[in-house]
Chain A
Amino acid sequence: MQIPVRCYPPKPDKVYLYGTCLVNSFAPESGLDAITLLQHQGIEVVYPAGQTCCGQPAFNSGYTDEALAVAKAQAALFPEPWPVVILSGSCGGMMRKHYAHLAPNDEQLAEFASRVYEFSEFLLHVLHIKLEDKGESQQVTLHTSCAGRREMGIHPYGESLLRQLDKVELLEHNYSTECCGFGGTFAVKHSDISAAMVEDKSRNLRESGASQFVSTDWGCMLNINGALEYQQQPLRGLHLASYLRQRTLPEHSPEQE
Chain B
Amino acid sequence: MHTSAQQFKPQAHDALANPVIRKNFRGAMDFLRNKRKGVIPDDAEFHALQKVCEQIKQQCLAELPELLEQLEKNCLANGIQVHWAETPAEANAIINALIDKHSGVDVVKGKSMVSEEIGLNDYLDARGKSCIETDMGEYIVQLAGEHPSHIIMPAIHKNAQEIGQLFHDKIEDTPFTTDVDTLINIGRQQMRKRFEHAHIGITGVNFAVAETGTLCLVENEGNGRLSSTAPPVHIAVTGIEKVVKYLADVPPLLSLLTRSATGQVITTYFNMISGPRKSDEKDGPEEVHLVLVDNGRTQAYADEQFRATLQCIRCGACMNHCPVYTRIGGHAYGTVYPGPIGKIVSPHMLGMENTQDLPTASSLCGACEEVCPVNIPIPTILQRLRTQLNQGNADKRTLRGAGSARKASEAMIWKVWRYLCVHPRLYRLATQSVARLRKLVPLVKSPWNQGRVSPKPAPKTLNELLHKKGKTNANKPWMIV
Contact = CB atoms under 8 A, between A and B. Distances in A.
For the complex of A and B, 4 pairs with smallest distance between CB atoms: A183-B363, A62-B386, A191-B447, A179-B365
A55 interface: yes
B477 A62 contact: no
5 contacts: A46-B480, A62-B359, A101-B383, A183-B365, A198-B452
Interface string A112-148: 0000000000000000000000000000000000110
A41 to B, nearest CB: 14
A197 B327 contact: yes
Interface string A177-204: 1110111111111111111111110000
Contacts of A16: 478
B455 A225 contact: yes
Contacts of A178: 323, 365, 367
A80 to B, nearest CB: 9
B462 A193 contact: no
Contact of A49 (B386, B431, B456, B477): B477
Contacts of A190: 9, 12, 324, 357, 360-361
B452 A28 contact: no
Contact of A66 (B9, B359, B418, B451): B418
B463 A49 contact: yes
Interface stretch (A69-77, A157-165, A205-213, A243-251): A69-77
Contact of B450 (A59, A70, A191): A191
B431 to A, nearest CB: 5
Given A49-B424, A61-B414, A188-B447, A26 B363 contact: no
A57 B461 CA distance: 19
Interface string A26-64: 111101100100000000111111111101011111111
Interface in B456-474: 456-458, 460-467, 469-470, 472
A194 B478 contact: no
A60 B364 contact: yes
Nearest to A178: B323
Interface string B425-466: 001000100110000000000111011111111101111111
A191 B480 CA distance: 41
Contact of B458 (A21, A25, A184): A25
B364 A183 contact: yes
Interface stretch (B57-65, B176-184, B281-289, B369-377): B369-377
Nearest to A73: B422
Contacts of B454: 226
A202 to B, nearest CB: 9
A47 B361 contact: no
A32 B466 CA distance: 8
A203 B477 CA distance: 44
A186 B47 contact: no
Interface in A13-31: 16-17, 19, 21, 23-29, 31
Nearest to B332: A193
B267 to A, nearest CB: 27
